[in-house]
């Protein structure tokens, strides 16, 4: 039987609205050897979000305490809120050969890569166009126009970091993009195979 010696840190990033969260969830649902890293955040829970499934929602005070306790692998501020990745969400799973999928922005990706953990794979998800990205943000109906304008400005900055990634996937058709990510992950896993 083949197995992984260690799990892969699969980092997915994209501008807001390009589909990284949906792709990350779909990948984890269809692949038994992956686990989604659940981030900790100080932002408010959105309708439909579930504690410990979508995020760990904490106060600023609790977030500060987690920083003091060195509980995070990385943490950053985005849109006035803070996000962090808990050590407990990553290291034990990698040690068991489970791939951990991260849904983070370029700052989070850079911070994760700086930890120099072996077997880190970075994929940047692009929308088919900036016009399509704006349409997707409008369809979500989660933000007002001013916030969407800020997200679009932020998206242009975010996309300027795509050359820091190992692979680029364009999310024009969801199933095609998911298939590409699965193929990339499978190719990386083949590099790590061993036998019992």
Q: What is the pTM of this model?
A: 0.83
Q: What is the percent of the chain where pLDDT is above 90? A: 55
> Within this chain, do residues 52 and 131 fall inside the same structural domain, yes or no?
no
> Within this chain, do residues 148 and 137 fall inside the same structural domain, yes or no?
yes
Among residues 82, 123, 117, which one has the least CA distance to residue 102? Answer: 123
Q: How sure is the predictor about 1, in pLDDT bands with cuts at 50, 70 and 90?
A: very low
The four Cα atoms 34, 36, 37, 38 give a dihedral, to 10 degrees, of: -160
> Within this chain, do residues 110 and 174 fall inside the same structural domain, yes or no?
yes
> Within this chain, do residues 124 and 173 fall inside the same structural domain, yes or no?
yes
Residue 181 pLDDT? 97
Q: Identify the domain containing residue 167 by its residue range.
A: 2-37+98-191
> Within this chain, do residues 156 and 177 fall inside the same structural domain, yes or no?
yes
Q: How sure is the predictor about 195, in pLDDT bands with cuts at 50, 70 and 90?
A: low
Which of 70, 89, 108 represents a domain boundary (last residue)?
A: 89
> Within this chain, do residues 84 and 21 fall inside the same structural domain, yes or no?
no
> Within this chain, do residues 54 and 130 fall inside the same structural domain, yes or no?
no
In a domain, 149, yes or no: yes
> Within this chain, do residues 78 and 110 fall inside the same structural domain, yes or no?
no
Domain count, the chain: 2
* CA–CA distance, 191 with 5 (Å, rounded to integer): 10
> Average pLDDT, whole number, for the chain?
88
Structure tokens at 36: 């989604």
Residue 2 pLDDT? 42
> Within this chain, do residues 33 and 118 fall inside the same structural domain, yes or no?
yes
Which of 72, 89, 106 represents a domain boundary (last residue)?
A: 89
What pLDDT, in 10s, does the model give residues 50-72? 999 889 999 999 999 999 999 99
What pLDDT, in 10s, does the model give residues 14-43? 987 788 999 999 999 999 899 999 999 999
Mean pLDDT of 129-137: 81
Rg value, the chain, Cα: 17
In a domain, 196, yes or no: no
Contacts made by residues 135-144, CB under 8 angstroms, sequence distance 24+ = 136/17, 136/18, 136/19, 137/16, 137/17, 140/17, 142/46
> Within this chain, do residues 79 and 148 fall inside the same structural domain, yes or no?
no
CA distances in angstroms from 95 to 25, 30, 32, listed in the order given:
22, 21, 16
- pLDDT at 152 exceeding the cut of 90: no
> Within this chain, do residues 119 and 185 fall inside the same structural domain, yes or no?
yes
Top-ranked range on mean pLDDT: pick from 33-42, 110-119, 186-195: 33-42
Instruction: Find the angle CA(43)-CA(27)-CA(124) to the nearest 5 degrees.
Output: 70
Do 68 and 2 contact (CB within 8 A), yes or no? no
Which of 71, 89, 107 represents a domain boundary (last residue)?
A: 89
> Within this chain, do residues 63 and 133 fall inside the same structural domain, yes or no?
no
The domain that holds 75 is classified in CATH as 3.30.63.10
């Amino acid at each position: 039987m083949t197995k992984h010696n260690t799990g892969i840190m699969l980092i997915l990033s994209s501008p807001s609205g390009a589909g990284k969260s949906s792709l990350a969830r779909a990948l984890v649902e269809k692949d038994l050897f992956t686990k989604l890293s659940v981030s900790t955040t100080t932002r408010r829970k959105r309708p439909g979000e579930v504690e410990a499934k979508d995020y760990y929602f904490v106060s600023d005070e609790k977030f500060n305490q987690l920083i003091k306790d060195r509980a995070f692998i990385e943490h950053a501020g985005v849109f006035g809120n803070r996000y962090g990745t808990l050590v407990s969400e990553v290291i034990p799973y990698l040690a068991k050969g489970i791939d951990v999928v991260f849904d983070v922005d370029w700052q989070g990706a850079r911070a994760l890569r700086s930890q120099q953990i072996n077997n880190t794979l970075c994929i940047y998800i692009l929308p088919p166009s900036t016009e399509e990205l704006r349409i997707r943000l409008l369809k979500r109906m989660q933000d007002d126009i001013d916030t969407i304008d800020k997200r679009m400005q932020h998206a242009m900055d975010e996309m300027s970091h795509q050359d820091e990634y190992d692979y680029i996937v364009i999310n024009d058709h969801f199933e095609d993009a998911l298939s590409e990510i699965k193929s990339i992950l499978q190719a990386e896993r083949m590099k790590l195979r061993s036998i019992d």
